[in-house]
Structure 1
Amino acid sequence: MPQPRSIAFICCFLLCATAAAHPSANNTVDILHWWVSEGEENSIGIIQRYIEKQGLGWHAEAVAGSGTYRFSDELRKRVASGNPPMASQAIGYDIRDWARQGKLLNLDNIAEEYQWDEVIPFAIQHLSKYQGHWVGVPINTHSTNWLWVNHAQLTRLGLKQPDTWPDLINMLNTAKASGLIPIAIGREAWEHTLLFESVAAGAGGAEFYRRVFLDLDPTALDMKIIDQIFQRMSMLRNFLDAGAITRNWNQATELVLSGQALLQVQGSWVDGEFNASGLVPGRDYDCYRFPDTQGLVLFNSDQYILFKDHVVEPETRNTFVKTLMDVELQRDLNIATGAAPARVDVPRADFNQCGQQAINDMRAANMRRAMLGSIAMGNANPGPVKNALYKVISDHLMGHISNSQAVSRLAQIISQAPRP
């Protein structure tokens, strides 16, 4: 029969084991995120698995709409009601907006201990920090200047990777003549702006893109280049189908997957969708850089921000942050998401062909300072500028305004924008 001290020890052990099996509210990771498509759900499941392996509880709420008003409004409501999540997915300048309000946890101690400055690309650090302090935890490096192409249709039509703008137009004309949807796209302004930013980077080059859309420098506005960009967007309008005004981005991806469309100009999360469907690059689909943007990485980095006012054990927060930045999590997560990791030191071997190219491109662009924030995803400029650009770009692509009107309105937006 156990002695009293032994009984006390056993009881303590059982209580601790029960607590570990059923984490308390103070030991539970509570997050808000926007990953709702099939590939994205697989990705959030990977984060959950890694967090639960640490003995923490997990509570996640999804609100569709990456970085859009739908998601932002829900987050603002929770914060305003005094019930912020422990952590929320965030991108780009939205991170700075929350930091400016004094709502976010300072992560400098963890960042210094684990040498984030050494392993995270500089362009991402620019958005992860506010006034020199770490406030965001980057989990990936999506890039947006991709063509995602149905391999069977490409082969059937005798086409190959387009290297230049004329190559792309020839490809699209061939697809249209064959009865395919040349470019699959959805109805939302951010999708239209993704197309625009690749066209802009291809037409103007890295320095033009940086000075106009990141630095918001009105002296860099070369009106001939701006006019050429909108002329090219008008050309691409001819390759869209009537269904574009009703579908969302992942429905457009389904059109490419099924062979009803030749290609989609979209971020590397498409690779995650294809991966979730069991497709293999080089056999079922191909990934090419948008013509004339080779060497550039227009990027969007999903990050997590942590709110000061959420009641939780400090160690729970710290474990969550450290786990997100773990090399193995970033490997497994980004094999699923289709992105490159947010760290430059994650091994490439287990990634598919498109994932390995994304990692190679990210590392090279980081060294050359050729990683440039995505306009569409809010990584290039503050929210008011992004939303103003959304309006003019979408109005133009949908044929509501002329080239000259679009040129004038864009120049006005850049000229009137506060300099970063």
Structure 2
Amino acid sequence: MNLKRHSSTIALAGLLAASTPAFAQTVDVQQYWTSASESKAMNTIADAYKARGGKWIDSPSADFDSTIAAATSRIAGGEPPSAVLMTPSAAMRDLASSGQLRNFDDLAAANGWQKAMPPVVWDKLNVDGHLVGLPVGIHADNWVWYSKAAFEAAKIEEPKTLDEMFAAADKLKAAGYTAFAVGGEPWQEVTILTSMIIALGGPDYWNELFIKRDPEALKSPILPKAFELFRKVSTYADPASPGRSWNETTNMVVTGKAGMQFMGDWARGEFLAAGQVAGKNFGCFLMPTDKPAYAIVVDIFAFPLNKDEDRIKGQTMLAETVMDPAVEAKIAAVKGSVPSRLDVDTSTLDLCAVRGVKSLGTPGVTVSSTYDALPGDLNGRMTDLATQFWTDPSMTVDTGVKSLGDILQSK
């Protein structure tokens, strides 16, 4: 759904309406969670904030890029939002380095937030020694989701290797199912390519390729194989794939029309929103490999500097709200994420979330997804390359590998 943010006039009206004897602490939140499960998660935060006595102004955008564009425009125009939903990416680091974000060093020290977060998350949220973002949940983007009913009908066990996964796809196709539900949007396509790379190479190779960007990593036979498997997946896509949203694509698995989907664990929220139960109606596995990896994406709030005293107090209240362990647990329960605090009670999480928690806590398994690891321009170019390769069967594997190398080695 294409949504436009509220105008500054509406935001001002909200502020004036809050001018009562019990003056509410106001937050204006620029965000892009619009699917069923995402909306539930954002409402969980909003309800918890309002329960503390605050006033919530929702400023939705269509997607991540539009959110960042809207927030940046508002900051430049002198009407910054109170909080921006984003990831600890180059966009966050650029805003922090230019002095546009509030830091929460004081609250972190007073409340022991560093000890509460996994070190990999804490490090992502610190820029120049200052805590400039607060986590609302952790996802990984190298998951595969499947329909239990489709697997049972095709007499398939959960795959443990890539060969078994493609064998399962063939059985599903023979049984009349769409084997791999794929939404033909660039960001969905590149996720399949990176999932193949991490499955074949594991965490060590991933870090050499995407974090260090070592030229020697580009010579590995892993990359040609990853492009070959990426193209193989494209042969299973259904005719309606182009342009289909990720959540519409997840619904194909939810309704049993498709067998599997490559997607981050935000997809789990869609299964839960449909009343399905992990292990009963749907299943999950991280990309099958003998080198386990967990490529994380962290959802965060960043807080642009505000001059209005009410907005500043509202930011503090929102910070305390999202860092409340009970609120984090509720977010995870509807969003499909893993809590970003180590002290959250995970006893009520389903088997897919438990697998995520276990991976997060296993040394050497967690890596940064390309969303966080690469600068925005390189992410964009790699996404364009993946789409070109996906849609143009005449593009060779060697050309794909060389193009990726050119991207990763560019300045």
Deviations 1:151-193 (A, max 9, x none): 1011111101111111011011111112211111112211112
Rate the CA distance shift 1:244–1:197 in 2: closer, same or farther, 3 A: same
| AA aligned opposite 1:210 | N
Taking a change above 3 Å as real, the CA distance of residues 88 and 310 of structure 1, as seen in their structure-2 partners, is: farther
Q: Report deviation, 1:204.
A: 1.2
| Aligned-residue CA RMSD (Å) | 1.8
Once the two structures are superposed, residues 299-349 of structure 1 have per-residue CA deviations (whole angstroms, 9 ceiling, x without a partner) of 111000001135243332222111111100000111110110111221111
In structure 2, the residue corresponding to 1:241 is in which secondary structure? Answer: coil
1:382 matched to 2:378? The reply is: no
What is the CA distance between 1:294 and its match in structure 2?
A: 6.2
Letter in 2 for 1:386: N
Q: After superposition, what is the alpha-carbon deviation per residue over 1:109-128, rounded to whole angstroms, capped at 9, x for unaligned?
A: 11122222212122222321
Is 2:328 the partner of 1:330? yes
Among 248, 253, 260, the alignment partner of 2:250 is 253
Alpha-carbon separation, structure 1, partners of 2:112 and 2:97: 24
TM-score by length of 1: 0.89
The number of equivalent residue pairs is 391
Match of 2:230 among 219, 230, 233: 233
**Secondary structure of the structure 2 residue equivalent to 1:176:** helix
Give 2:201's aligned amino acid: G
Task: Tell me if the contact between 2:203 and 2:364 (Cα under 8 Å) persists in the aligned partners.
Answer: no
Aligned mates of 2:223, 2:276 — CA distance in 1: 38
Distance between the aligned counterparts of 2:137 and 2:326, measured in 1?
13
Structure 2: how far apart are the matches of 1:127 and 1:416? 23
**Do the aligned partners of 1:214 and 1:380 also contact (CA within 8 Å) in 2?**
yes
Task: Between 32-41 and 121-130, report the one with greater CA deviation.
Answer: 121-130
SS at match of 2:184: coil
Q: What is the match of residue 31 of structure 1?
A: 29
Any residues of structure 2 matched to 1:76-95 within 5 Å, and which?
A: 76-93=72-89, 94-95=91-92
Q: Is the 8 A contact 1:186 1:248 kept in 2?
A: yes
Distance 2:307 2:282 in 1: 44
> Is residue 2:405 matched to residue 1:411?
yes
Give the equivalent residue in structure 2 for 1:178: 175
| 2:210 is aligned with 1:213 | yes
Identify unmatched segments of 5+ residues in structure 2: 1-17
Cα deviation for residue 415 of structure 1 reads 1.6
**For residues 381 and 119 of structure 2, what CA distance do their matches in structure 1 show?**
27
In the alignment, which residue of structure 1 is the partner of 2:366? Answer: 371
From 101, 105, 114, the counterpart of 2:102:
105
Q: Which residue of 1 aligns with 2:270?
A: 273
Are the structure 2 counterparts of residues 118 and 212 from structure 1 closer, same or farther at C-alpha, using a change threshold of 3 Å? same
Do the aligned partners of 2:88 and 2:133 also contact (CA within 8 Å) in 1? Answer: no
Q: Are the aligned partners of 1:86 and 1:310 in contact in 2 as well (CA < 8 Å)?
A: no
Pick the aligned partner of 1:46 from 36, 44, 47: 44
Q: Deviations over 1:353-411 (max 9, x none)?
A: 222222222222xxx14211112xx1121101111111111211222632111111001
1:242 aligned counterpart, secondary structure: coil
Q: CA deviation at 1:32?
A: 0.6
State how far apart, in whole Å, the 2-side matches of 1:386 and 1:39 are: 26
The answer to whether the Cα contact below 8 Å between 1:297 and 1:370 also exists between their aligned partners in 2 is: yes
Q: For residue 74 of structure 1, what is the aligned residue in structure 2?
A: 70
- Cα distance 1:284–1:309, how it changes in 2: closer, same or farther (>3 A)? same
Native 8 Å contact 1:86 1:312 kept in 2? no
Give me the whole-angstrom Cα distance separating, in 2, the residues matched to 1:105 and 1:92. 14
Contact 2:68 2:86 in 1 (8 A): no
Q: Is the 8 A contact 1:83 1:310 kept in 2?
A: no
The verdict on how the C-alpha distance between 1:213 and 1:338 changes in structure 2, with shifts beyond 3 A counting, is: same
- CA drift of 1:228 comes to 1.2
Determine the C-alpha separation between the residues in 1 that align with 2:350 and 2:19.
40
Q: Are the aligned partners of 1:151 and 1:285 in contact in 2 as well (CA < 8 Å)?
A: yes
1:201 maps to what in 2?
198
CA distance in 2, matches of 1:190, 1:123: 24
1:133 aligns with 2:133: no
Whole-Å separation in 1 of the counterparts to 2:129 and 2:290: 31
Secondary structure of 1:139's counterpart equals strand
Unaligned segments of structure 1, at least 5 residues = 1-15
**Structure 1 residue 19 displacement after superposition:** 3.6
Inter-CA distance 214–369: structure 2 relative to 1 (3 Å threshold): same
- Structure 1 residue 281, shift from structure 2 partner: 0.9
The answer to whether the 8 A contact 1:198-1:293 is kept is no
User: Mean Cα displacement is larger for which, 255-264 or 354-363?
Assistant: 354-363
Structure label with greater radius of gyration: 1
Residue 392 of structure 1 aligns with which residue? 385
Q: 2:55 maps to which residue?
A: 57
> Contact 2:67 / 2:84 at 8 angstroms: preserved in 1?
no
Give the TM-score taking structure 2 as reference length: 0.91
Is 1:91–1:300's contact at 8 Å kept on the other side of the alignment?
yes
CA distance in 2 between partners of 1:271 and 1:216 (Å): 32
Residues 95, 127 of structure 1: 8 Å contact kept: no
SS at match of 1:263: strand
| Counterpart for residue 297 of structure 2 | 300
- Worse-superposed segment, 146-155 or 408-417: 408-417
Structure 2 Cα separation of the partners of residues 344 and 196 of structure 1: 31
